[in-house]
Chains A and B, each alone.
Chain A
Amino acid sequence: MTKLISRAGSLLHNTTHKQQIDRELTEEVSSYVEMLTEEKMKNGMNEQDARRAALVEVGGVEQVKEEVRASRSGSGLESFVMDLRYGMRSLLKKPGFTITAVVALALGIGANTAIFSVINGVLLRSLSYANPDTIVMVWERGATERNARNVVSPANYLDWQKQSMSFDQMAATVEQRVNLTGGRGEPEEIKAQFVSQGFFPALGEQPMLGRSFLAEEDTVGKELVIILSHELWQTRFGSDPAVIGKQATISGRQRTIVGVMPPGFHFLDNQVRAWMPMALDPAIDYRGKSGRYLKVVARLKPGVTVQQAQGELTGIAKQLEQTHVKFNTGWSVNVVPMHEQVVGEIRPILIVLLAAVAFVLLIACANVANLLLSRAASRQRELALRAALGASRGRLVRQMLTESVLLALMGGLVGVLLAYWGIQLLIGFGPDNIPRLGEITIDPRVLGFTFGISLLTGGLFGLIPALQASRPDLNDALKEGSRGSTGGRSRTLRNVFVITEVALALVLLIGAGLMIRSFVRLQSVETGFNPENVLTMRLQLPRKNYGEPHQILDFFKRAEERIAALPGVQVVGAISYLPLTGPAARDGFKVVGRPEPAPGQEPGVEVRVITPGYFQAMGIPLIKGRLLDERDGKDSRLLLINETMAKKYFPNEDPVGKQIIVTWSDGVVDEIVGIVGDIREGALNKEPETAIYWPHPREPYSGMALVVRAAGDAARLSTVVPKEIRAIDPEQPVADLRTMKQVVAKSIARPRFNTVLLAIFAGVALVLASVGLYGVMNYSATQRTHEVGIRMALGAMRADIMRLVVGNGMLLTLIGIGIGVAASVGLTRLMQSFLFGIGTTDALTFIAVSALLIAVALVANYIPARKATRVNPVIALRYE
């Protein structure tokens, strides 16, 4: 204890009386030397010899003093502050070096911070529901992999809910577009979720105003209530605090507003603006009446694991397979944790992007390490002097590390600013189907990450040059006129750095190249339709005013007629599910006259209804037979099939005239009258599915997409077309008014986004690597001025010199490319799932990217080489 107090006292004393202590120390050590000298003289030496012997024995006054200083309390702090000041000063003295290094580091650290903040917001931060870890999605699992997370039949959902014991709550939801009138503004189509009673309790969320749904409101006849999203409450109801109890008209029916959710609340789809009770009726035979269309969410009971819940539901599903052979054969259950559901799909690309930015940072590190090496060479005399004055090697290393960490922290600071700006860009340009994109911010964890990687990079790029430079040969370095060359070791290091940079940059460029090639392929996919000059929009007719099929059909007929009469319109059609905007209805079918397939084994088919003008408006060719037209009304038993269906199920016969039965039309036989061309309906990168088309009157959908082919630019029709709709029904909203080209572009927004990001990172990597290459080549050319002078004096030609200098750089580049290609072969496999139409080792990409890098390297080599050949031998030789 006394020791501690005494130490603390000395620390205070040491830091406050530094100069006095130093003076006394000097006096103490020199008095020692004096006394030792006298002692030696007493023993018979002359004064000069005695003094020399004494000094030798002491081993350097300054070294002794340094030892004492180092052993004193507070020496760490003191020398740290000193290093910091010294470091700052020496960085400011070389602004060119400092700015270059800070910019390189800021690019690397900024890119890492931006991508990490995305990963933090999307992957790491837990979902915003209460206790999100116990929330799961429950899907049906079909026989094939694409059905692994299939929507759920209401009947199966009701049975699961009744029989399972693993859950506190289980709730069903389904999204629907509805028309909203009332409140402020025009009638509007909004997305809503119809939910069963357990929905809000399962997510552990409460409305911020009002209440959630009562159990009895989830029954037919009592379901006319609605809960608003915060956004809808603000935009449509002016944030009215007294909105509870007021009425909203949804698709023509009055509903009482009972609650408003807090801002940011959403379930799977952040476009949903309202929630209403689903009111399933347990008395209805849903298996006979409808397909699978629900999304089921559940809250696990405390202590129940996902595996246990999965096990229980699998057992229940097995029973249901036996009790409902026709409907359930081949169908099981798939329990997916909510977090996995939300982010599972985006995780792989985020990991690839993180790897990409890590590479950028490594290149930046190699660059700065090289700069430091060159700088250390020119600082060698300064370091040697400090060593001679008693600084130990550890002390020198520490001082240089302080400098490099200082650099890295400056880079980190600028990097955070870059990242902040970059995140705004990401959010602004990011496709809206990236989950949780709006939740990305720079929070303390991100800042901690940035600080951490700044320190790490500072150590990483600083350590090797520091170790290298802290071992100067005093004799050589201090000699007057020494050229301060750092010799072979540091040249080897520099070369290793350059090779590393080239290899890393090549991997990134190949990654980006593959993405670009894949994206170009995606864009040039044969869609099967002609998106030029086509305007599309969605119309969802409310059941209240359009309860009868003839009302629906009449509306669309009138709308098509009015629009077709507009100048500049060529042809108008409508379809139940517009291509590239989400899934269509799906069902099973069988061909009349062929053996009955086993239950669960029926081939699947996508079912759409169309009006006569649709195929012409979309530019889809008729391959065989005839199209459907006005003759094909409500009682029509005719349909069209697509080419895929014709090839797959009628390979060696003419399908026209053949008969099939679609499961949901319950035994009614349809006859094929025509074959139309395949189109990419689901996504550009998905092969066309087996599909049929019925005439609209056969299944009078109340929601259809209108497709208008114009003579010229379709966008010009976007003001006049909605007017025609309103002329028929002023209450009817027009939704998703866009050209077909916009629809196509939006469907590939995410791959475009990924491609652009990766391309940007690869571009940064290329610039950093070529700057690094240039720097090293330039440095070594300068170092070799003397040598070049001699060679030229001895008669070497410019071309020889050029070959010498460029050859050296190109050798490094080629080694780097070799390593990079080998690494790419291994790493690009991670990208398999994002690539479309090309392999992960696409030869063209590998060759083109290597060629690009070689070209850039040639330029980076050529400039210093040319400078070297301009050397005047006389001056070069006199330069000594």
Chain B
Amino acid sequence: MSARDDDFKADLLQGTLHLLVLKALVAQPLHGLGVSNRISQITNGTFDVKPGSLFPALHRMEEAGWLKAEWGESENKRRAKFYSLTKAGRRQLDTETEDWQRISIAMTSALRAS
């Protein structure tokens, strides 16, 4: 019922969110807040991912086998869960990047057309 509508919207955003999370984790493993900050940084503050969507995305991606999580210690000596890319995650990043570029080019040319 209504759950399907939610899923649909989520799928739309998830595509983008997944790609951003994968990209954020390319350089090094990060904990939740780290991912959020990194995304904000690499998008020049355009995307501000709230925990309400970040954590479900991280858990889903972990379940999908793209990320693995380990408990570690933060800069401030606080226990935190660190996420890093798996091999499957890197492959996924490549595919999604390619897809995104194709879409992006298509969209740009579509919008330029008169």
Contacts and interface: CB of A to CB of B under 8 A. Distances in A.
Partners in one complex: yes
Interface of A: 2-3, 6-7, 10, 24-25, 27-29, 31-32, 34-36, 38-39, 57-59, 63-64, 67-68, 70-73, 394
Interface string B77-92: 0111100000010000
B76 A71 contact: no
A647 B3 CA distance: 78
Nearest to A392: B6
Given A31-B79, A38-B76, A7 B55 contact: no
B27 to A, nearest CB: 19
Given A35-B74, A36-B33, A58 B51 contact: yes
A670 B88 CA distance: 108
Given A59-B52, A64-B51, A71-B56, A6 B78 contact: no
Given A3-B64, A7-B63, A68-B59, A32 B52 contact: no
27 contacts: A3-B65, A6-B63, A6-B64, A6-B65, A7-B64, A10-B63, A25-B55, A29-B51, A31-B32, A31-B78, A31-B79, A32-B33, A32-B55, A34-B78, A35-B76, A36-B33, A38-B76, A38-B78, A39-B33, A57-B50, A58-B52, A59-B50, A59-B52, A64-B52, A67-B56, A71-B56, A71-B59
A394 B2 CA distance: 7
Interface of B: 1-3, 6, 31-33, 50-53, 55-57, 59-60, 62-65, 74, 76, 78-81, 88
A28 B31 CA distance: 9
A35 B59 CA distance: 19
**Per DSSP, are chain B's interface residues mostly helix, strand or loop, or mixed?**
helix
A231 B56 CA distance: 72
A60 to B, nearest CB: 8
A68 B56 contact: yes
A4 to B, nearest CB: 10
A32 B88 CA distance: 26
Contacts of B80: 28, 31-32, 35
Contacts, number: 78
Given A7-B64, A31-B78, 11 more contacts: A2-B65, A6-B63, A6-B64, A6-B65, A31-B79, A34-B78, A58-B50, A59-B52, A67-B55, A68-B55, A72-B59
Interface centre among B2, B51, B60 (most CB of A within 10 A): B51
Contact of B81 (A2, A28, A64): A28
Interface centre among B55, B57, B80 (most CB of A within 10 A): B55
A118 B24 CA distance: 67
A27 B79 contact: yes
A641 to B, nearest CB: 75
Nearest to A7: B63
Contacts of B33: 32, 35-36, 39
Contact of A32 (B32, B56, B60, B63): B32
B32 A28 contact: yes
Contact of B51 (A7, A24, A32): A32
A743 to B, nearest CB: 61
A38 to B, nearest CB: 6
Given A31-B78, A35-B74, A73 B63 contact: yes
A782 B3 CA distance: 38
Contacts of B63: 6-7, 10, 72-73
A57 B59 CA distance: 20
Contacts of B76: 35, 38
Nearest to A6: B65
Nearest to A27: B79
Nearest to A401: B1
Q: List 5 tightest A-B contacts by C-beta distance, closest first.
A: A6-B65, A71-B56, A10-B63, A35-B33, A32-B32
Contacts of A73: 63
B94 to A, nearest CB: 15
Contacts of B56: 67-68, 70-71
Contacts of A57: 50-51
Contacts of B6: 394
Contact of A63 (B52, B65, B79, B88): B52
A31 B51 CA distance: 12
B8 to A, nearest CB: 14
A10 B63 CA distance: 6
A35 B31 contact: yes
Contacts of A29: 51, 55
Contacts of B60: 71-72
Nearest to B48: A57
B14 to A, nearest CB: 10
